[in-house]
Structure 1
Amino acid sequence: LGAAAGTGANLLLLALGLGLALVAANPRGPTYRRARREVLDRLADAYDQQHRAAEELAEANRLKGEFLSMVSHELRTPLTSVKGFVDTVLLHWDRFPEEQRRELLDRASGRADELTRLISQLLDFASIEADRVDVDLRALDVRELVDVVIGDVAPVVADHRIEVEVTEELVMTADADAFSHVLVNLLTNAVKFSPDDSTIRVQARAERHEVVVSVADQGTGISVEDQRRIFDRFYQSDASEGDGNGSRRGTGIGLAIAQRFTEVQGGRIWVESAPGQGSTFFFTLPVGRVAATRVVATATPAPD
Structure 2
Amino acid sequence: LVEQAAVAIIVFKGNEITIDAVNPKMLQLLDKPADIAGKPLLEAIPELFGQKAYELLHQVYTTGKTFNGNETAVQLNRNGKIETGFYNFTYTPLIENGKITGIIDIAVDVTSQVMAAKMVQKLNDELANANEELSVTNKQINISNQMLTNINEDLIFSRKQLEQSEQILRMAIEAANFGNWSINVNSRVLIVSSRFKELFGFHPQDKITLSDCLNQITDDFKPAAEHAIENALARPEEFDLSFTIKTFNDQKIRWLRTVGNLTETANNDISSFTGIIMDITEQKKDEQRKNDFIGMVSHELKTPLTSLGAYVQLLQRINANTTENNTINVLDKAGQQIKKMNSMINGFLNLSRLESGKIHLEKTDFELNVLIEEVISELLLTSSNYIVKLTPSATVSVKADRDKIGNVITNLASNAIKYSPNNKNVEIFCTIDNMNAVVLVKDHGIGIKPENLPNLFDRYYRVEGKQTSTISGFGIGLYLSAEIIQRHGGKIWAESIVGKGSTVGFSLPM
The bucket for the TM-score relative to the shorter chain is 0.5 to 0.7
Q: Please report the TM-score for the alignment, with normalisation by the length of structure 2.
A: 0.40
* Partner amino acid, structure 1, of 2:479: A
Output the CA distance in 2 between the equivalents of 1:260 and 1:150: 22
Q: Tell whether the 8 Å contact from 2:179 to 2:194 is kept in structure 1 after alignment.
A: no
1:284 aligned residue = 507
Residues 219 and 242 in structure 1, CA contact (< 8 A), matched pair in contact too: no
Tell me the equivalent position of 2:400: 174
CA offset digits 1:141-174 (Å, max 9, x no partner): 1221111111222234323211211422221222
Choose which of 309, 318, 338 in structure 2 pairs with 1:112: 338
| Separation (CA, whole Å) in 1 of partners of 2:441 and 2:482 | 14
- Partner residue, 2:381: 155
The runs of at least 4 consecutive aligned structure 1 residues that moved more than 4 Å come to 1-7, 11-17
Counterpart of 1:259 in structure 2 is: 482
2:458 aligned with 1:232: yes
Aligned partner of 1:191 in structure 2 is: 417
1:219 is paired with a residue whose SS is coil
2-structure distance, mates of 1:210, 1:196: 33
Specify whether residues 159 and 10 from structure 1 end up closer, same or farther in structure 2 by C-alpha distance, changes over 3 A only.
farther
SS of equivalent to 1:162: strand
Aligned counterparts of 2:411 and 2:461: Cα–Cα separation in 1: 15
Q: How does 1:77-92 map to 2 (within 5 A)?
A: none
Query: Which of the two has higher C-alpha Rg?
Result: 2
Letter matched to residue 476 of structure 2:
I
For this pair of structures, how many residues does the alignment match?
233
> Which residue does 1:144 correspond to in 2?
370
Q: Is 1:128–2:363 an aligned residue pair?
A: no
1:109 Cα deviation after fit: 1.4
Contact residue 141 and residue 171 of structure 1 kept, 8 A: yes
Q: Hey, what's the Cα distance between the residues in 1 that align with 2:411 and 2:355?
A: 17
More divergent stretch after superposition (171-180 vs 191-200):
191-200
Q: Contact 1:272 / 1:280 at 8 angstroms: preserved in 2?
A: yes
The amino acid across from 1:99 in the alignment is N
Distance 2:483 2:177 in 1: 29
Partner of 1:10: 180
Shift of 1:129: 1.4
Cα distance in 2, alignment partners of residues 158 and 8 from structure 1: 58
Q: Which runs of 5+ in 1 are unaligned?
A: 18-33, 288-304
TM (norm. structure 1) is: 0.64
Q: Distance in 2 between matches of 1:97 and 1:204?
A: 42
- The residue that corresponds to 1:275 in the other structure is 498
Q: Which has the higher strand share?
A: 2
The one-letter amino acid of 1:108's match is A
Specify the SS of the correspondent of 2:178: helix
Q: 1:212 to 1:15 in 2, by over 3 A?
A: same
CA–CA separation in structure 1 for the residues paired with 2:486 and 2:467: 27
Bigger helix fraction: 1
Q: How far apart, in 2, do the equivalents of 1:101 and 1:249 lie?
A: 26
Compute the displacement of 1:11 (Å).
7.1
SS of the aligned residue for 2:473 comes to coil
Q: Aligned equivalents of 1:262 and 1:237: distance in 2?
A: 22
| Mapped partners of 2:439, 2:476: distance in 1 | 20
Instruction: Give the 3 Å change call, closer, same or farther, for CA 221–103 of structure 1 in structure 2.
Output: closer
Cα separation, partners in 2 of 1:259 and 1:166, compared to 1, 3 Å: farther
